[in-house]
Amino acid sequence: MQNAFASKGGMLDLAGVDISGAPAVVQSIRGLLRAARRAGMLVVYLQVGYKPDLSDGGGEDSPNPRKELAIRLMRCKPELKGQLLIHGTWDFAIVDELQPCPGDLVIVKTRYSGFTNTALDAELKARGIRYLFFTGIATNVCVESTLRDAYFLEYWPILIEDATMHAGPPFMQQAAVHNVEAYFGWVTGARELAALLPP
């Protein structure tokens, strides 16, 4: 839930993606964060970002620079160079309404999946965590990529449908939710989850 994905003037907005649903997703996640923290659950932020020289974005033999939207936009539009998902920039920052609290785990990643080249798996296993609840933007890109990897790593992934938003046409959300429900995990709503958490 970085400015890049959820805020006017962020990367998705600059790319012409409709982010009108982002404020509702922010509010859903905000309520879930309160309930999760009250219940003593670990809150994990996955924050995608790159060094200013993009040396961690992938070299000439990597597909990442050819598909990752921020890198592509900065290459196509020189005026955006150094501004999109670069460490320390506004675009990289988590939206004001959802700032991490002490005790939350913040993991910076350089690929769509939060498990790729990060300590996420080790951090979860060290705490004995097996059940993961997924929120965020974009459902069909980073959220689904991380959720699929979680499934392959023997976690139990649960997507919170109304606390996620797609990038692209509306059918992308429908397809991602269907993929999760049919093949990779479970799907529920923010209100349903909050009601099950102990006060």
With contact defined as beta carbons under 8 Å apart, do 76 and 144 qualify? no
Please give the residue range of the domain that contains residue 59.
3-196
Find residue 46's DSSP bridge partners: 107
pLDDT for 199 equals 80
Write b or e for each residue in 130-158: b if 16 or more Cβ atoms lie within 10 A of its Cβ, otherwise e: eebbbbbbbbbbbbbbbbbbbbeeebebb
Paired tokens of 165 = 């938003």
Four-residue CA torsion sign, 29, 34, 40, 45: positive
Regions of the chain short of the pLDDT cut 50 = none
Separation of alpha carbons 167 and 140, rounded Å = 7
d(CA 156, CA 98): 24
Residue type, 42: L
Per-residue model confidence (pLDDT) at position 172: 97
Amino acid at 99: Q
Residue 196's pLDDT is what? 93
Number of domains the chain is built from: 1
CATH of the domain at 130: 3.40.50.850
pLDDT in tens, 2-56: 999 999 999 999 999 999 999 999 999 999 999 999 999 999 999 999 999 999 9
Q: What tokens appear for 146 in the block?
A: 């991380």
